Amino acid sequence: MSLIFQALINGLVSGTLLAVPAIGFTAMFAVLRFPNFAVSGMATLGAFAGYLVYGAVGSVVAALVVAFAAAGAVGLFFDKTAHLPLVKQGALPAAIASIASGLVLENLVRLGFGNDPRGYDRPIARDMRLGDLRISPQQLETMGIALVVMLLVFAALGFTRIGKAMRASADNPELAALKGIRPQRVAAMASFVGMGLVGIGGMLLGLDSSIDPLTGTRILLSMFAAAVLGGLGSVPGAVLGAFLIGIAEELSVLVFGSPYRSAVGFFAILIMLSIRPRGLLGERAY
Amino acid sequence: MNRTILRRRTALLTGVAAVAAPSVIRAQGEPIKIATLTPLTGAGGLYGPTMAKAAAAVVEEVNSAGGVLGRKVVLVSEDDQTSPEPAVRAARKLIDVDKVSAIMGTWASAVTTAVAPLCWESKTPLFTVSGADSITLLPHQGYIIRTQPNSQLQVTNLAEFILSLGSKKVFTMITQTPFTQTTIDIMNRVLPKGGATHGSLIYDDKKTTYRTEVDQALRGSPDMIVANGYTPDSVILLKDLYRAGYKGKIVGFAYSLSPKLVDQIGQPEVVEGIYTFAPSPAEGSGAYERVKKASGLAAPDPYTSQVYDHTSMVLMAMAQAKDTTGVAIKDNVRKISQGGGKTVDNAVDGIKAIAAGEKVDYSGASGPCDFDDKGDILSCKFRYEQIKGGKFTLVKIA
C-alpha cells in the first residue's frame, strides 16, 4: 500500500515539473494554432543555458531567468522565420517544420557540448522520511519553483493587459483584432513566453537529474500527452493533464513494469482523441 | 584507386625483397601467409591499428628466430572499416587472392558474423575479438576461435564476485539490451547456488527519474544492487538510490560506471564504495609485457592483447601440425593452447618447444586462452575496482 502512496507522491512531483513546459506548449497552441514540437530542442536549450549560468554564477534564480530568456528568444526567432510563415498553409506544415527546428537545436547543442551527460553541481541529499513515505528536499525545492512559475503565469494571464490580450486572441482572434488587439504582438508574446516556460521546464528537469542533447526529447511525449489530455490550448487543462500523466506513469511502473512507462503517454493520447478529442477541460484558454 | 596503387607498390616491394633476400630464405620455399582483418577505420578505428601492430610484432619475432617449419611468415593487413560490407570484400581478397591460412582480429560482432561464412566455407580459421553470444553458435565447424569473453562468461564471473562479497539479497536493475535476458537468467541460476536470492527489474533508459523503480527494487531490502545500464541513466539511477537512503553495495560494468559518471554525479559519497568490473588482459604476464613493447602503449587494451595471442596461437598450431593449412590450424589450436604441458607465453618459445617434441600450453596476454568446443574461451581475467573518495582503486584482477 505504501508503495502506491509513494508512487502517487513521485507522480505529483514529476507532474509538477511536467506542468511548466506543458503550459508553455498549450499556450503557444492556443494563440498560434499549431503544435510546436520544437519544444524538445527548446527544453534542451533552456537546460544548457541554465547550466552555463548556474556554473558561472551559482544562482538558481539567475539560471532560471536566463533559461527562460534564451529559450524564449530562440523560440521567437524560429517561430518568426520558420513556423509562422507556414501556418497559413495549415497547422500540419508548421508542425512538421517545428519538428525539424527541434532537431536542428538538439544537434546545435550536441555540436557545442557533445553527447556526454552533464549535471548541475547541486548537493545530492538523502530523502526526508515520513513513515514509509519519502520525498527529497531537492524535489520539494524544484516543485516549489515550478509552482511559483505557474502562479506567475496564471497571475499574468488573469491580471495583466498582455495576458488578457492573449486570452482574448486565443478565444476569438477576429474579435480580438476588432477590439484593437494587435495579433502580431500577441503572437510574438505567446512564442516568447511559451518557449521560455519550456526552457524553464527543461532546466528544472536538469536540476533534478542530468542534461544531455536528448533531455527535451525525453519529455516531449509526456508534455504533448499532458496538453492533449487537458485539452490543447487550455492552460489549466495542461496542469491537470501533467499531474495525471505524471501519476499514471509512476503507477504504470507498479502495474506493468518500467519498460512500459513510455506507453502511458501514447495510450493517454489515443484514448483522449478517440473519446473526447477536446480534452478534459475543453479548449478554453483559461 | 589509391588502394590499387598501394597494392601494386606492395607487390613490387615484395618482388624486390624476394630478389634481394639471401638465397637461403628463397631456398626455404614459399612464405606462409596469415592475415589481420581489423578496424583500421570506422568506430573501431581506435583499436584496429594497434591490433595489427601487435600481430606484426609476433610475426617479426618468429621470423627473426627462423620462421615456422623453416619458412618465413608474411602478414597481410586489411581494413574491415568496422562495417560488414567492406569487411566481406577484404576477406574475399585475403582468402582468394592472398590465400592466407588464417584471418585474425575481426572486432565488431556484425563484421565477424558477415565474414564467418566465407571463412568456414574456405576452411580458413577466423580468430575474433567480438563479444556477441550468437557468433560461436553459427555452424562454423570449428573454424571460429574467440578470445573475447561472451556475456555468459562475463555475467557468471560477476555473479561469483557478488557471492564472494557475501551478498545475500541481490537485485539487478538493467536496461533493455540484447544481453538483458541472458544476464537475468545467469544471475537467477548462479546466485541461488551460493545461497543468495536474486530479483530483477528491466528499466527504460530514457527516463528522467527512477524513483518508483528504486522503490520497487528496495522493497525486498537488497544488500547488493547490480546497476547494469548506460552512463546517462546510471547517473540518475545512482542518485535516486542514494536519495532513497540505500546503504548496501552496488556493482556495475566499468564501461558505464566510469570516471565520467563520477564527475557527472560530482558528489563522492553518492558513488562511494561502488564496485566496477571489466574483462581484463593478463596484466603482469610476460606476454602482456611484450604487447606493451610491441604496441608502444602503457596499458594495451584487451583487443590488442587478444590479437597478439591469435597470432602466436596460429603460428604455434602450424608448428604443431607440421602443416600450414587452415584445416591443420583448426585441428591443432587446442593442442597448443590447453591441456597441460610446458607453459609458454610467446610463439618463439612455443615453436622451439614443439620442435623439441614437447607438449605446450599457451597462456597469453589476454588470458589462459583455453577454448571449449564452440570456440569460446573458458576463462579470462576480470578487473574489479572500487570507487573510494571519488577515485577508482584496484580490488583485484582475477
Whether residue A280 lies inside any domain: the answer is: no
Whole-complex ipTM: 0.77
The answer to whether residues B194 and B101 belong to one domain is no
The answer to whether residues B269 and B340 belong to one domain is no
For residue A168, pLDDT over 90 is answered with no
More confident residue, A95 or B10: A95
Query: Using one digit for the tens of pLDDT, what is the confidence trace for B98-129?
Result: 999 999 999 988 899 999 999 999 999 999 99
Whether residue B85 lies inside any domain: the answer is: yes
Can you tell me the mean pLDDT for A180-208? 92
End-to-end Cα, chain A, rounded Å: 36
Read off the pLDDT band of B207 (50, 70, 90).
confident
Question: What's the pLDDT at B27?
Answer: 40
A121 touches chain B (CB under 8 A): yes
A127 touches chain B (CB under 8 A): yes
Whether residue B219 lies inside any domain: the answer is: yes
Can you tell me the mean pLDDT for B214-228? 93
Q: In sequence order, which residues have a C-beta less than 8 Å from that of residue B190 and are 6 or more positions away? A: B155, B156, B159, B160, B163
CA distance to partner chain B, nearest, from residue A90 (Å): 32
A79 touches chain B (CB under 8 A): no
Q: How far is it, in rounded angstroms, from Cα B329 to Cα B341?
A: 19
Query: Using one digit for the tens of pLDDT, what is the confidence trace for A48-95?
Result: 999 999 999 989 999 999 999 999 999 999 999 999 999 989 999 999
What's the DSSP call for residue A237?
H
DSSP B348-369: HHHHHHHHTT--EEE--SSS--
For residue A189, pLDDT over 60 is answered with yes
Report the chain A residue with the minimal C-alpha distance to residue B231.
A117
Can you tell me the mean pLDDT for B180-195? 93
Q: How many domains does chain A have?
A: 1
Per the CB < 8 Å rule, is B239 touching A124? yes
The answer to whether residues B209 and B237 belong to one domain is yes
Whether residue B358 lies inside any domain: the answer is: yes
B211 touches chain A (CB under 8 A): yes
Percent of chain B with pLDDT over 90: 69
Q: Which CATH number fits the domain that encloses residue A77?
A: 1.10.3470
Read off the pLDDT band of B8 (50, 70, 90).
low
For residue B22, pLDDT over 70 is answered with no
A131 touches chain B (CB under 8 A): no
Query: CA Rg, chain B, in Å?
Result: 23
Query: Using one digit for the tens of pLDDT, what is the confidence trace for B322-339?
Result: 999 999 999 999 999 999
Mean pLDDT of chain A: 90
Question: What's the pLDDT at B19?
Answer: 46
DSSP E strands in B5-86: the ranges are 32-38, 73-79
pTM reported for the whole predicted model: 0.72
More confident residue, B259 or B17: B259
Whether residue B370 lies inside any domain: the answer is: no
Question: Could you give the angle at the alpha carbon of A206 between the alpha carbons of A202 and A208, nearest 5°?
Answer: 125
For residue A210, pLDDT over 50 is answered with yes
Whether residue B372 lies inside any domain: the answer is: no
Q: How far is it, in rounded angstroms, from Cα B243 to Cα B256?
A: 20
Question: What's the pLDDT at A285?
Answer: 55
Q: How many domains does chain B have?
A: 2
For residue A279, pLDDT over 80 is answered with yes
Domain span at A74: 2-115+135-275
Which chain A residues contact residue B43 at CB under 8 A? none
Q: How far is it, in rounded angstroms, from Cα B270 to Cα B277?
A: 18
Question: What's the pLDDT at B191?
Answer: 96
Question: What's the pLDDT at B24?
Answer: 44
Residue B325 CA, chain-centre distance (Å), reads 25
Read off the pLDDT band of A212 (50, 70, 90).
confident
Question: What's the pLDDT at B10?
Answer: 53
Report the chain A residue with the minimal C-alpha distance to residue B260.
A116
B204 touches chain A (CB under 8 A): yes
Per the CB < 8 Å rule, is A208 touching B203? no
Adjacent-strand bridge partners of B226: B172, B251
Which chain B residues contact residue A219 at CB under 8 A? 208
More confident residue, B12 or B267: B267
For residue B11, pLDDT over 90 is answered with no
Per the CB < 8 Å rule, is A7 touching B209? no
H or E element that contains B145:
strand B144-146
A130 touches chain B (CB under 8 A): no
Whether residue B373 lies inside any domain: the answer is: no
Percent of chain A with pLDDT over 90: 55
More confident residue, B14 or B318: B318
The mean-pLDDT minimum among A22-31, A166-175, A243-252, B52-61 falls in A166-175
Phi-psi region of A180 (alpha: psi -120 to 50; beta: other; left: phi over 0): left
The answer to whether residues B192 and B266 belong to one domain is yes
Q: Which CATH number fits the domain that encloses residue B90?
A: 3.40.50.2300
The answer to whether residues B13 and B115 belong to one domain is yes
Q: How far is it, in rounded angstroms, from Cα A234 to Cα A155?
A: 15
What's the burial of B116, exposed, middle or buried (CB within 10 Å: 0-12/13-18/19+)? buried
Can you tell me the mean pLDDT for B165-190? 91
Can you tell me the mean pLDDT for B130-139? 90
Amino acid code (one letter) for A77? F
DSSP A97-150: HHHHHHHHHHHHHHHHH-SS-B-------PPEEETTEEE-HHHHHHHHHHHHHH
CA distance to partner chain A, nearest, from residue B211 (Å): 7
Question: What's the pLDDT at B18?
Answer: 46
The answer to whether residues B18 and B167 belong to one domain is no
The answer to whether residues B272 and B288 belong to one domain is no
Adjacent-strand bridge partners of B174: B202, B228
The answer to whether residues B205 and B307 belong to one domain is no
The answer to whether residues B93 and B211 belong to one domain is no
Q: Mutating which of A118, A141, A210 best tests the B interface, going by the most B Cβ atoms within 10 A?
A: A210
For residue B291, pLDDT over 60 is answered with yes
CA distance to partner chain A, nearest, from residue B146 (Å): 32
Domain span at B218: 152-280+380-397
CA distance to partner chain A, nearest, from residue B250 (Å): 17
Among B216, B245, B265, beta carbon nearest to A126:
B245
The mean-pLDDT minimum among A81-85, A120-124, A228-232, B205-209 falls in B205-209
